[in-house]
Amino acid sequence: MMAAAKRTVLVLHGYSQNASVFSRRLGALRKEAKDVDMVFIDAPHILQPADLFNSSQQSQSEAQSGLLSEVQQNQATIAATDPSLSPRAWWKANADRTKAVGMEESIAVVRDVLKGRRFDGVLGFSQGAAFAAIIAALLERPHLYPDFLIDGQPPHPPLQFCIAVSGFRVNDPICDPIFTPSYSTPTLHIIGKTDIVVVEERSKQLVDMSSNKRVEEHEGGHFVPSKGNWRKFLAEYMRDPFATLVSPGSSAPPSGTATPTGGNESALMMKL
């Protein structure tokens, strides 16, 4: 009897993270899903300290200003000593959230990854979840964004599934046609009931774009849930998104690693 082919999943980190950081934070899930090849990639845009904080809010307190200065120095040191730890983003939202500045470059990065190998699905967190849904939808109708094509052909077949953790619907002209009226890639939406970075109402705007969806909620906030029942559920879903899986939701205490570290959440909400 032949062994089942190993599943391959593209993994997209959140705003202010990077592939290395997110891979470590999902260490428990990677161990649970050793038979799944989880491919973590970096967003192309390196963030500066000013991108991570709301300066006007920070300046209201000398203590906060001191913290900002310290974090700025830490970020500069980290970037200088190990560029792989630099905070990154798939885009930066403009002031009124009508444009995702830099998304074109990120789509090009993912296009080039997709043309090089085959993936069964995509998993994203926060901004990465929003982007994962965009990529899933774009692979269904790649002609709607010609720059995604390679010699007139899509770089990859449509994905079998998408996992969006703390995702949201992006406001950008690129997204409007590919989400009209919806996209059909089977999508698992995971929402934190106490998430104040991407609130439930905002996540449900992305859920509404998904015509083939499953929604699961956990008791915690802005993180990928990591209790044993969630790890097993996610590993099983990646192995077979069409299997009948019992909901991992429970009243157990929240378990996960919040993001970002070293920044305040109100500032992050303004940047996503």
Give the pLDDT score at 272.
72
* Token pair listed for 206: 């992305």
CA–CA separation, 270 vs 272, rounded Å?
6
CA-atom Rg of the chain in angstroms: 18
Average pLDDT over residues 192-215: 96
Q: In which residue are the tokens 């900002």 written?
A: 68
pTM: 0.86
Average pLDDT over residues 255-265: 45
Q: Reduced to 3 states, what is the DSSP secondary structure of residue 101?
A: strand
Average pLDDT over residues 183-205: 96
Q: Rounded to a whole number, what is the largest CA-CA distance in the chain?
A: 67
Kindly report the three-state secondary structure assignment for every residue of 11-26: EECCCCECHHHHHHHC
CA–CA separation, 12 vs 128, rounded Å?
5
Domains and CATH numbers, the chain: 7-239 (3.40.50.1820)
How confident is the model over 54-82, as pLDDT tens digits? 433 333 333 333 334 444 445 545 555 56
Give the pLDDT score at 3.
56
